[in-house]
A and B are shown apart, each in its own frame.
Chain A
Amino acid sequence: MTGVRVFAVGLRFHVKALTHSVFFLLTSIFMPLLVATVAYYMYRAGNQPGSLLYVSLGAAVYGIWSSTLFGSGGAIQWQRWQGTLEVLVSAPTPFVLVIAPLTLATSVIGIYSLASTLVWGRLAFGIPFTVAHWAAFVVAVPATILGLGLLGFVFASTFVLYRNANALSNMLEWPVLLVTGMLVPLSLLPGWAGPIAWLLAPTWGVQAIREAALGGTPWPDVGVTVALGLAYLAIGAVCLRHFEAAARRHATLSLT
């Protein structure tokens, strides 16, 4: 019960704190709007206007991914810079309950990107927002946020060992955007990208949201997104325990 309370309080605290961060709002609102705008103009110039809602939804999930990645890269690094990492690690509360709410909060902030991208598409480009399966859409969005947030948790757990975690997170933004089919259909990518895409929750999350909005069978995609999220949680918890022990052993926790 204490664990649930720590998790819930941590999640609420971090969502409120991140909402006050101008930089985070830039990441979660401005970036997907810009990517969506570039893609809108490209699709229009290429005479493919029918795909604009497809672009909107993909750009929105990109916004969730972008803020999750930035947050997971920073989750450990910020604690290092502030000198609080050792205190958190040595506290009796399991470290997983400290970090997981932070990475999940960064993807919850992505809800701003979903809303702003859809509103921007409607106001600036006249893209109608129609949802074929509302019930599935309402479930698919939080499932995607959960899946992405827990993927961020896996990254954050490995970043305990890595001093330049934010550089690694910078590097991961484009590859995941490319291989998960957020804006480019997977069928267009080389064959080797497929198996990588299947292991990433954003692939299934964006598919679930699109199929819920545009029509299709979103529920299997929702299920895979949640299942991958739970797998990430287990992997992240194991990694965090091992890497935390290694960082203690090598006395590298506070090194910046």
Chain B
Amino acid sequence: MRAFARVFFIGGVIAYRGLFNWIRPAMYIPTMLVGPIFQILFFAYLGRYSKVEDDTFFVVGNAIQASAMSAVFAGTMTIANERQYQTLAPLLATPANRFAVFMGRAIPVIASGVFVSAWGFLMSRLLLDYDPPLSSIPALAVVVVVSVTSCTAFGLTLGSIGMRARDVFMSANIAYYLMWLLCGVNIPLSALPDWLAQIGRLLPLTHGIAAGREVAAGADLAAVSGLVWTEVAVGTAWALIAITLVHWFEYEGRRRASLETF
């Protein structure tokens, strides 16, 4: 158990630092902090023009979705980049528990996602007509953490496909941007065709964003517990898919000697 915890927490942080050693403030600030502010502003103004919803609808949707930049892309990279950097085979040669190895890396990714999301909410408070009651902040924080964790599990699933696929980053890009459409970020699910809304319900963030909007409107955590638990269930399902794929692609990669071939 102690070895598991050590690999999960300490190994996760070390792996994150190694895989993301290229991140500098000059890169992080424009991409992760400035970009999301303008994303929120853009959709809020587009919402005002289209008269579909008020600012709060777009602030909550986009501030939570902005975390997906960390959750989806970094989640994907935490697994797929091992193959890109030619370190996958040595890593899989170790006897370490695979769940601890790969899921531990999610912790820094989740922390970054929560930070980006919190930043989005803070800047929206200053720049837009967004003024949630102070009492809603703890519940909103819970919703954000759950949503980002669930979305990171989705990113890890995409990353695990990167153990086999040639170019998983294209899929990560498509998945990330489709969230704008499918997860109720900018369009109420009721305005989408049923089949698109159904796909959205299977994706992370959808239920978290819905819960976040209710909390911002004054609901307490108990009132949105159904949505939060659904988001937890969706995230757990994606995490299970991720770890299953990791095991399967490791087995197949060993059998075919294709772990590091492209």
Known contacts A26-B173, A41-B192; is-contact A178 B180 (Cβ 8 Å) = no
Q: Within 8 Å CB of B192, what residues of A?
A: 41
Give the interface segment out of B133-141, B152-160, B183-191. B183-191
Q: Interface centre among A39, A171, A173, by most B CB within 10 Å?
A: A171
Query: Is B49 within 8 A of A185, CB to CB?
Result: yes
A44 touches which one: B26, B170, B191 (CB < 8 A)? B191
**Beta-carbon nearest neighbor of A175 in chain B:** B38
B46 touches which one: A30, A42, A163 (CB < 8 A)? A42
- Total A-B residue contacts, Cβ distance less than 8 Å: 89
Q: Within 8 Å CB of B39, what residues of A?
A: 174
Q: Within 8 Å CB of A45, what residues of B?
A: 50, 52, 187-188, 191
Q: Within 8 Å CB of A23, what residues of B?
A: 170
**Beta-carbon nearest neighbor of B37 in chain A:** A174
Min CB distance A180 to B, Å, is: 11
Min CB distance B38 to A, Å, is: 3
Min CB distance A152 to B, Å, is: 17
Dominant SS at the A interface? helix
Q: How large is the interface on A (under 10, 10 to 19, 20 to 34, 35 or more residues)?
A: 20 to 34
Query: Is B26 within 8 A of A167, CB to CB?
Result: yes
Q: Within 8 Å CB of A174, what residues of B?
A: 35, 38-39, 41-42
Q: Is B24 an interface residue (CB 8 A)?
A: yes
A39 touches which one: B48, B50, B188, B191 (CB < 8 A)? B50
Interface residues of B (CB under 8 A from A): 24, 26-28, 30-31, 34-35, 38-39, 41-42, 45-52, 167, 170, 173-174, 177-178, 180-181, 186-188, 191-192
Interface residues of A (CB under 8 A from B): 22-23, 26, 30-31, 34, 37-39, 41-48, 163-164, 167-168, 170-171, 173-175, 177-178, 183-185, 188-189
Give me 18 A-to-B residue pairs in the complex whose CB atoms sit less than 8 angstroms apart, sorted by A's number: A22-B170, A34-B178, A34-B180, A38-B180, A38-B181, A38-B187, A42-B46, A42-B50, A163-B26, A167-B26, A167-B30, A171-B30, A171-B31, A174-B38, A174-B42, A183-B42, A183-B46, A188-B49
